[in-house]
Amino acid sequence: MTKSEFKKHIEKALSELKLYAELHFGQELPNDYEFEWFLFEKTKAIGKNDVIELIADKVYLTEKEIYPCVDLVAEKITLDNRIYISGRIAGHKPREFGKGWSNRPGPFIYGLGSGFINKKIKTDSKEFKELLFKKGLIHYN
């Protein structure tokens, strides 16, 4: 996979993470992002294009070396009306692009911080999990 193709994959992952958060939160979210790596060096980006670049710079090393397990966690909505996302790269050795730990193509695993928990939505119900499956956000029943 080329770096350009991987950046398109990141853009798709951000859209999926947004949808994942919307379904859990129960309302539409903004289309802008703020991102911060939770690594030894904490780097930050604001705006969709800069977020995509920052993720690509850390996760994509070469066409055959891409970190296979990366958490993207939608944490909250910022005061500037952006989805604040934290990222963590697991310690697995980089490899070619393929099915990741989430059983979806690519390395990204979606998570939510407490800022997106809505207790009125029954996220543990069979119906909710089927909805996530139908939307391609999870790949297991």
pLDDT in tens, 72-88: 999 999 999 999 999 99
Whether residue 90 lies inside any domain: the answer is yes
What backbone torsions phi and psi does residue 9 show, to the nearest 5 degrees? -65, -40
Within 30-134, strands assigned E span 33-37, 44-46, 60-62, 65-66, 70-77, 83-89, 108-112
pLDDT (mean) for 31-59? 93
Number of domains in the chain: 1
Whether residue 140 lies inside any domain: the answer is no
Decide the pairing of beta strands 44-46 and 108-112.
unpaired
pLDDT score, position 141: 56
Whether residue 71 lies inside any domain: the answer is yes
- Pick from 11-20, 43-52, 97-106: least confident: 97-106
Picking from 134, 67, 80, the residue whose alpha carbon sits closest to that of residue 107 is 67
Local confidence band at 16 (pLDDT 50, 70, 90 cut-offs): very high
pLDDT score, position 119: 87
Whether residue 141 lies inside any domain: the answer is no
Whether residue 102 lies inside any domain: the answer is yes
> Are the C-beta atoms of residues 129 and 138 closer than 8 Å to each other?
yes
Whether residue 139 lies inside any domain: the answer is no
> Are the C-beta atoms of residues 135 and 141 closer than 8 Å to each other?
no
What is the percentage of the chain residues whose pLDDT exceeds 90? 77
Picking from 10, 3, 2, the residue whose alpha carbon sits closest to that of residue 49 is 10
pLDDT score, position 25: 93
Please give the residue range of the domain that contains residue 94: 3-134
Amino acid symbol at 11: E
Query: pLDDT tens digits for 100-127?
Result: 888 889 999 999 998 888 889 998 899 9
pLDDT score, position 90: 92
